[in-house]
Structure 1
């Protein structure tokens, strides 16, 4: 019974270990950034610490046993292990404070060169997480020795310890990624795991004091000396077997890295995808280890066969990977885009990944227990043997993380790096064949290794048309979804003219149809379209031009994310712009940049543009001087690592880098998002910037403006003078905006409106990240988010006061020509509610205008305007501008009709041309039943009391 208690505790310690790894990586992203170097550094420190711990505690057990033998006492290894677990627990409780101290120290250090600064922060990070990582390496060598009753049971016990500890790690990977971090935050997760480690330490102490069978000094001597065991240095082939352990660690860590990237290409690079891949990988290793514990006998031939089978199944996996997006799309098409279906979809994906990986990864997980079995009698010294095997295996994993997961990807694409890992597995199998089956090395080389390696290098390359297809955005089945991968991809084939797998990003450039001005090149990163020179040009250009209108000066700017280069190009094209600094995390994106020079004002050729291949957070913190404009154009917030750019801390850092009249512009979207995530982003923005406005660039694309100087951002005379400059005229003409009225028509929420709302709720912080989890679930549903309700009287008052269109005409009533331009500008971007509201206001104010009828007719006949502009629909909105119109009698409207009219009022409400609030009150006054009264109270909770007006 007590051995099962000990094994249950190894599940808990494995659980906390993986949770720590995930949590530390998110902590240290604030020091190191979220780029691939930082990820590799954190993983290297963690694995390096484990490797040192395996070796250190393997030797420590031998020393403790020798000392106990001299003293004639039991070695009390369980108490020793309890101290280790207790120290880990105490360290975890103190970790938030330790991290704050290290972070403060990093910020106080004098400015140095970027490379030197990164190295200093890596050393600080190592000082922070290396000690507990080393301590975690004590589990397998100590418990293998403590729980083994004899050499005959040692293999089974060792497999149990390894397997159960890894099962805990599997649970930690899932719960940390899906639940713990978004619900509890990093600090509370660290403390919670610390208490679990302290609990495990307490129980291990009780087991030791309860005379749990721990090896006596005499037992230990038997473990070390029985059957003529010798020192590992004198065991024939020992070095070769250790090399196999290291090579296997390198190969499997490299393959795990590649599978993480493939998972992102097939499912979308969200935190859920990475958690799923890691969890399946870890579970498969655990299963492989536990299977060894049930084997009645283990022969040398079995060990060799298992590794050649591993090679075979990894080759089969290589052939399946290019079609992974197709398989994921087939699974996705089975589920409705609902909240309830999200976890069902994730579970089915988990089963699919498990089916594909459990055999090959399980075979790799069986290797170390099998090698331990082979060495246990030859070498003896159970703790030292286990420690040595796992130390070298983890050192190989460290090498896999650095080389296979980072360095090699600077030079080779994913499929080439996968082949390198496969070659390492072939070498492992070859070494085992020679050492365990006594095959001649020359015969093995000529007859097995050379043909196998040659076969690896003739494997077909992975087709970017398939692997980078971005099918994770296709939620519904098509006619070819279930017709096979070949026919499906043949129907979708688009011309790929560039493909590159970098350390953090897969970048693909496709050539589409061109228009009169520029070619239709599009950029995809990790399978997700991130920019097109035609369809996305307005968004990328206006993200630069609108803040350039609002800022006091336009001399220095900072752009987060190079993408297609349009934003940087538009800023550099401004005559008074002197410097445009661009931080781009992906080398692959920069390699693709020359393809877009034909349509983005050629920023690469501009001496004003300075490129920084770096993480935006780190690059901005280390930047010298202040900026007039900072533009952030990251990927969608559901993409792993992007949420940092939406955090309170990052926005604070950006605000502190602005000049007194500067503007921070953040791209955001309302598609594939939900209301909860939208409000989280806005609350976080409002927690940093005292004055915020929102502008649209496309139908569902927004730019959030953080304003330092509200007076300058409301100075329409200064903006008119700037707009009339030739460089600004040319820039706006590139997005078909020919007047200041048209430019101001893109204002959605005027300055100060959001600040007046007093939105309540949590914000996005680095110590409690929530956004990526909310956004990833919203992405699955694929719905459209909306802004908070802006119909309250205080919002309307501030909006009317600060609306740039109203300030431009110097009046509350917009002239017909202004209404016409604003309607056309909103309609051409298919902004349904705003388009209809401007036309309705136009019809209400000028019902007999011939120009109104002409414009409305043109809009109805314009194929690019998908909005259904029926006359009765527009007229139903125009009524909302007539607050004086009274209902003839109470009770004339049913509750259903009243609610429908209210929904129409709220859906099409526009702050620039707001409906008359009295019209909504008149509607509810005409609904005179107890049910109406109750429903009215519910509506007023959202919009405020209906009898409090703000005149139009």
Structure 2
């Protein structure tokens, strides 16, 4: 009775420990990526340090279990140690702020950069992950005595630990980050560790186990002493394979579902919760299946083969649901969205992941039948190789399988590996073989081969109803990047089947994103661009003869390759140009390292709900960009207003103005459907319209800039929406920081719930905003007299664009009134390209 009561208490502690472990993993990953950058290599380093820490910790825990007399006390100290070892991650910004400035951009690109990033990842994540790995190897032998055995009670301990991880992920991702911010969430998870430590300490101080069980424990320990025996080789191999295959399948499954799940912080978290829920459920039902179907050894080949078939068939199920079924129905609330996504994942991924999730628990039950392993004395070795295999599977999936074969064939290939493993286990078994098992192995292999060679090859990654022609398609840790042709968009970059990352159809608008800030600076020699996309924006800087050097910083290597290979005729060959340097790095990391380097920095249009992208709207990033500017420098951050609610814009604008008190607003054109806005921050000088006139005169003489508006100060004045003053902004509460993720979380909720876009700035709402800004500008008197009427002309042209699209009769009157304000010398500029006009109707 005492033993069972202890066991029940341990199940609760295991669930709480699992919740803390997965909560930590999510928070550590975000914390490290805030420092190291959100690139694929940084993600790989963080993931690798966590999984290898768990694996090595499990191996050391197995060794400690054979030597420690008071395992509960050691586990209590270990749980408290996890909280203590999490302090470096908690205080990461405080003790790492000096690193990138000291290293500098050159050091960041040298061998020292990756080495330093690895050492930081290792120092912050590996020690607490290593201690986490002790829990199950130490707890199982300590509790599995008498009637309690590994194949049943040990697996329930594992299931509770895994399902606790689901709870931890859900609470941290959906509640704690929103309520407490990153630092508060980390303190909450550390408090859970301390509570678990207190519970384990109570176990150590509780009644001792019955003496009758102690000889059995000593006998188990004697038999299991030393390295794994030959009888453990098959379970070890199966455990390693299980970790390898299921993590490879999970990686591909995540990329598959993200083809339809709205890009947001919440979607990957919900998918991960679904996967871990399936793994925990599989572990919980394994003892029942084992008793019902005749033992783990007999079940393993069948489960492996069925896992292979279900995994390979997952893309077919996905497309049946996404294209011909209900797909992901609209959700009114975040809870409803998460429930819809959970059901969708369970239907298309559930069979494969659940069956695959049975392999390791069945291998554990099989281990429990080995002589001397009933108490779980060798379980730590299985946990260790399972974790190491999982790390290897995820890495190979991201680095090799997905880039080489794509999502669908990767899942098919993993399915084939499961079938082959099942056939190998079946062939190696010493018990009498049944004909039905052999037939199942042969049939499963044929089905998977058919899937690989016929059905999976024809499945698309992009939506077949969108009329895209695929020119190149690459999948990896960065997601799925496709270069496409479209009748209306021209050539474009499509990200994860959801987001267009620039297109040739609007290449003049993208070039203007470079021209405008460069014309506001008196002598821009060194310019930098955060985000490359098609390369059209940084390439436009090459039209300015006075610009000596361009630095284009891009996170994705696949995007850089696409810009080089498919858009060089529109981006002036900027990737590889003698005056330009293309850097593959996170923009935040790069500008933290580059101090006093640039005259002008231009931030691209970043997706506010994209996972991690809103970091580029944080006060920490804006501070780093300001430090990267020379005296008189300018930072221009472009905002896609059609992707922002008024509240989100106010947060970003207030955050920007906190760092750049001298901020001015410029529209990117006259289009009402997809308006963009520039926040232009001046480091230590005011906006000077005489400088603008001189710069336009220089560029007209040089002949490089042919955009009609950008060749004349009157053109820039039509886009001017005035200064951003503190009194113009509503109270927004806390600014957007890396710690509170305000913009990312709010934009993500808006994107996945209700009617996405109903509150965004476009159409009439954008015109109302522009009208208010024009009225406020009239009160300031900042424009010279000859330019003062031109912002009104800009507003009239925005109204004309709306009227033209709605086929309203007042279009001609609005154009006539606007053109009366604009000078004829600009409208009839013979050297200007009239196709650059940023609105409808086109200039005659």
TM-score by length of 1: 0.76
Q: How far 1:96 sits from its partner (Å)?
A: 1.9
Q: How far 1:792 sits from its partner (Å)?
A: 13
Change (3 A) 1:212 1:673: farther
Distance 2:77 2:225 in 1: 31
Match of 1:136 in 2: 132
Q: How far 1:508 sits from its partner (Å)?
A: 1.5
Q: How far 1:355 sits from its partner (Å)?
A: 3.0
CA contact (8 A) 1:547 1:705 kept: no
Q: Which of 689, 694, 716 lines up with 1:716 in the alignment?
A: 689
Match of 1:386 in 2: 379
Q: How far 1:151 sits from its partner (Å)?
A: 7.1
CA contact (8 A) 1:292 1:370 kept: yes
Q: Which of 705, 719, 742 lines up with 1:770 in the alignment?
A: 742
RMSD across aligned C-alpha pairs, in angstroms?
Answer: 3.8
Please give the per-residue CA displacement for 1:895-934, whole angstroms capped at 9, x wherever unaligned. Answer: xxxxxxxxxxxxxxxxxxxxxxxxxxxxxxxxxxxxxxxx
Match of 2:520 in 1: 550
Match of 1:917 in 2: none
Match of 1:250 in 2: 244
Q: Which of 2, 8, 12 lines up with 1:8 in the alignment?
A: 12
Match of 1:436 in 2: 429
CA contact (8 A) 1:268 1:639 kept: no
CA contact (8 A) 1:186 1:767 kept: yes
Q: Which of 40, 44, 62 lines up with 1:58 in the alignment?
A: 62
Change (3 A) 1:386 1:545: same
Distance 1:335 1:245 in 2: 40
Q: Which of 206, 215, 218 lines up with 2:215 in the alignment?
A: 218
Match of 2:587 in 1: 616
Secondary structure, counterpart of 1:559 in structure 2? strand
Please give the per-residue CA displacement for 1:601-636, whole angstroms capped at 9, x wherever unaligned. Answer: 332363212111222222333347511111111531
Distance 1:530 1:702 in 2: 15
Match of 1:167 in 2: 163
Please give the per-residue CA displacement for 1:817-847, whole angstroms capped at 9, x wherever unaligned. Answer: x8556523653377999x9999899989x99
CA contact (8 A) 1:284 1:357 kept: no
CA contact (8 A) 2:641 2:675 kept: yes
Q: Which range moves more in the overlay, 543-552 or 824-833? A: 824-833
Matching of residues 374-453 of structure 1 within 5 Å:
374-381=366-373, 382-436=375-429
Change (3 A) 1:392 1:25: same
Distance 2:173 2:556 in 1: 24
Matched, 1:807 2:784: yes
CA contact (8 A) 2:541 2:550 kept: yes
Q: How far 1:161 sits from its partner (Å)?
A: 0.9
Q: Which of 20, 26, 31 lines up with 2:35 in the alignment?
A: 31
Matching of residues 34-113 of structure 1 within 5 Å:
34-64=38-68, 75-92=69-86, 95-97=89-91, 100-104=94-98, 108=102, 112-113=107-108
Change (3 A) 1:728 1:129: farther
TM-score by length of 2: 0.86
Matching of residues 919-938 of structure 1 within 5 Å:
none
Matched, 1:570 2:540: yes
Match of 2:833 in 1: none
CA contact (8 A) 1:23 1:181 kept: no
Distance 1:693 1:839 in 2: 30
Distance 2:634 2:813 in 1: 32
Q: How far 1:574 sits from its partner (Å)?
A: 1.1
Which structure 2 residue ranges, 5 or more long, are not aligned?
822-836
Secondary structure, counterpart of 1:378 in structure 2? coil
Match of 2:267 in 1: 273
Matched, 1:293 2:287: yes
CA contact (8 A) 1:90 1:198 kept: no
Match of 1:943 in 2: none
Q: How far 1:84 sits from its partner (Å)?
A: 1.3
Match of 1:264 in 2: 258
Please give the per-residue CA displacement for 1:660-689, whole angstroms capped at 9, x wherever unaligned. Answer: 222211121222432222222112112211
Q: Which of 592, 607, 612 lines up with 1:641 in the alignment?
A: 612
CA contact (8 A) 1:692 1:754 kept: no
Distance 1:82 1:755 in 2: 54
Secondary structure, counterpart of 1:26 in structure 2? helix
Match of 2:830 in 1: none
Matching of residues 174-253 of structure 1 within 5 Å:
174-211=170-207, 213=209, 217-224=214-221, 233-236=228-231, 238-253=232-247
Q: How far 1:105 sits from its partner (Å)?
A: 5.2
Q: Which of 134, 148, 153 lines up with 2:144 in the alignment?
A: 148
Distance 1:105 1:58 in 2: 38
Change (3 A) 1:81 1:795: farther
Distance 2:405 2:592 in 1: 31
Match of 1:761 in 2: 733
Change (3 A) 1:459 1:172: farther
Distance 2:139 2:257 in 1: 35
Distance 1:497 1:344 in 2: 37
Secondary structure, counterpart of 1:582 in structure 2? strand
Match of 1:372 in 2: 364
Secondary structure, counterpart of 1:671 in structure 2? helix
Q: How far 1:26 sits from its partner (Å)?
A: 0.9
Q: Which of 751, 754, 775 lines up with 2:723 in the alignment?
A: 751
Match of 2:827 in 1: none
Which structure 1 residue ranges, 5 or more long, are not aligned?
65-74, 470-488, 848-861, 867-952
Change (3 A) 1:743 1:367: same
Please give the per-residue CA displacement for 1:93-134, whole angstroms capped at 9, x wherever unaligned. Answer: 564236632454565457625242122121122111211101
Match of 1:495 in 2: 469
Secondary structure, counterpart of 2:591 in structure 1? helix
Change (3 A) 1:365 1:819: closer
Distance 1:800 1:612 in 2: 43
Match of 2:828 in 1: none
Matching of residues 856-895 of structure 1 within 5 Å:
none
Match of 2:453 in 1: 458
Distance 2:553 2:458 in 1: 30
Distance 1:211 1:438 in 2: 43
Distance 2:150 2:248 in 1: 30
Match of 1:784 in 2: 759
Please give the per-residue CA displacement for 1:246-297, whole angstroms capped at 9, x wherever unaligned. Answer: 1221111111111222222211331111001100000000000000133435
Matching of residues 506-521 of structure 1 within 5 Å:
506-513=480-487, 520-521=490-491
CA contact (8 A) 1:729 1:738 kept: no
Change (3 A) 1:802 1:538: farther
Change (3 A) 1:641 1:301: same
Matched, 1:308 2:305: yes
Q: Which of 323, 328, 334 lines up with 1:326 in the alignment?
A: 323
Please give the per-residue CA displacement for 1:709-757, whole angstroms capped at 9, x wherever unaligned. Answer: 57552x2222122223445896664477674323321122x12435764
Change (3 A) 1:280 1:630: same
- The structure with the larger Rg is 1
Change (3 A) 1:625 1:753: closer
Change (3 A) 1:618 1:132: same
Match of 2:25 in 1: 21
Q: Which of 119, 124, 147 lines up with 1:123 in the alignment?
A: 119
Q: How far 1:432 sits from its partner (Å)?
A: 1.8
Please give the per-residue CA displacement for 1:138-194, whole angstroms capped at 9, x wherever unaligned. Answer: 221122222212376321111111101111111122222222223211211111111
Q: How far 1:409 sits from its partner (Å)?
A: 4.3
